[in-house]
Every structure is written in C-alpha cells, then in structure tokens.
Amino acid sequence: MSEPLPLVVFYNGGCSICGPEISLYQKIAAQHRITHLQFQDISVGDLPTGYSRETLLKALHVEQGGAMLAGAPAFIAMWRALPRFVWLARAIDWQPMRGATNLFYNYLLAPFLYRRFMRSQAKT
C-alpha cells in the first residue's frame, strides 16, 4: 500500500469558530498518528507561494499533491484523512449533496465567517 499524499490544511486560527474546529481535527490526527496531514495557521506567519492572506482567510484551503483545493472540496480532502470524518466526506462528496454543500459554504458560511473575523480584527 502506498503512502498517502501529503495534505496541508491552511486555516484561519484567529477565527473563533475555525480555530477550535481545526484544533479538534489536529487532536484526532495526533491520536491516530496521521503524519501526512499537516495544519498551517494562515492568520499569522508564512503563506504558500502565490496566495494572499486575504484569499486564504476567505475559505479553508488544502494543498494535496501540488493542487490547491478551497471550500467544500478542501473539507472533503481533509475529512477523508480523518477516521472519524470519512463518512462525512463521503456524504458531502455524493453527487446530490456536492452542489448544495458548495453553494452553502461558498456563498453563506465562508463569507459570514470571513466578515465576522474581519470585524473582530478591526476592534483590536
């Protein structure tokens, strides 16, 4: 069996919802010794080449095998690597759900979380 492709999750650790959610995924990855799954907080520190902080803050991004995934496809790739979330990845990647999930995340949830984060940053 071949090694899974390295998967890097770029997330907003400064978001009061995203940060704790990703922390849960990090704990699960550590518990299961999943070494090909890495997490990088893009609210601070270095960014992947060719991406702005603003772009990355607007949605979850995952780099896998040289390809950058954003939004629901990024969640699907990450969840496929986490034993407790494989079922969710399969459900959301199911054709009837894929379109609705993308619309919900890209047009409602991600913009809401980004605006909420930017307002919190403006207050500090």
Domain ranges of the chain: 7-123
Q: What's the rounded Cα separation, in Å, for the pair 11 and 43?
A: 8
The residue ranges of the chain whose pLDDT is under 70 are 1-2, 124
Q: What is the pLDDT of residues 68-85, one digit of tens each?
A: 999 999 999 999 999 999
pLDDT given at position 82: 97
Rounded to 5°, angle at Cα 41 from 123 and 50 = 100
DSSP-derived pairing of the beta strands 61-64 and 7-11:
antiparallel
Question: How much is the pTM?
Answer: 0.91
